[in-house]
Amino acid sequence: MSKILIVEDEESIADLEKDYLELSGFEVETASRGDTGLEKALSQEYDLIILDLMLPGMDGFEVCRRIREVKDVPLLMVSAKKDDIDKIRGLGLGADDYITKPFSPSELVARVKAHLSRYERLVGAGRPANDIIEIRGLKIDKTARRVWVDGIEKTFTTKEFDLLTFLAENPNHVFSKEELFRKVWNMDSIGDIATVTVHIKKIREKVEYDTSNPQYIETIWGVGYRFKI
């Protein structure tokens, strides 16, 4: 979930912005002064900052300048005066966008979304892609250790994730319970082999449409398990 900081001294405006952004699925924090806003902006991670221009403690120009010295987080500046917006543009403080008050909350939300996706694309471009395995409706992100089944994220314990990933990375290969226990639990299979069965059952409950007729992890009777491809 994207986290947004609103630095705004007019409580009614801050509340309105916060409500709309929260309704749109964002996590929102607020600061009512320029200096406390700057402190928050520098000490915590936000995905976007909405900054009013006229603020007690420190004005928005200065807050923007100081944030920009250290962070390239998207910054949206808000002002009641069109002239001020022109002034900020002229100063080249590095804000990404400017909105004149009064603005509609839906316009604010639309701009926030546009900047977040633009920023994600920019940042994402320089980052190595996550290691992802995709088999039919199953998507395993090995880097983030997350799993989706038909687009819906499912929660896995560490060992469930390791076991599913191991099988998916070695499809069409039958592994005995002993082998899986050794590979995933990193121990000689003197432990309880039944653990493997229990984990397979839990994984199936999360990834299969019908656990009695598995589409991903097949039971090979008397031998072990095989990931279908």
Positions touching Ca ion (CB under 5 A) are 9, 52, 54
Q: How far is the CB of 9 from Ca ion (least distance, A)?
A: 5
Closest C-alpha to 148, from 160, 156, 139: 139
φ, ψ of residue 179 to 5 degrees: the values are -65, -45
Parallel/antiparallel/unpaired status of strands 138-141 and 3-7: unpaired
Contacts with 90 (C-beta within 8 Å, 6 or more apart), sequence order: none
Q: Which is nearer to Ca ion, 6 or 164 (CB)?
A: 6
- Closest to Ca ion by CB, 54 vs 133, is 54
The minimum distance between CB 119 and Ca ion, in angstroms, equals 25
Shortest distance (Å) from residue 54 CB to Ca ion? 4
Nearest approach in angstroms of CB 206 to Ca ion is 49
Residues 6+ apart with CB under 8 A from 151: 137
Compare residues 52 and 160 and give the one whose CB is closer to Ca ion.
52
Asked whether 95 and 7 are in contact (CB, 8 A), the reply is no
Residue nearest to Ca ion (CB): 54
**Minimum CB distance to Ca ion smaller for 9 or for 29:** 9
CA–CA separation, 52 and 15 (whole Å): 13
Classify residue 122 as exposed, middle or buried by CB count within 10 Å of its CB (0-12, 13-18, 19+).
exposed
Which residue's CB is nearer to Ca ion, number 37 or number 74?
37
Nearest approach, Cβ of 97 to Ca ion (angstroms)? 17
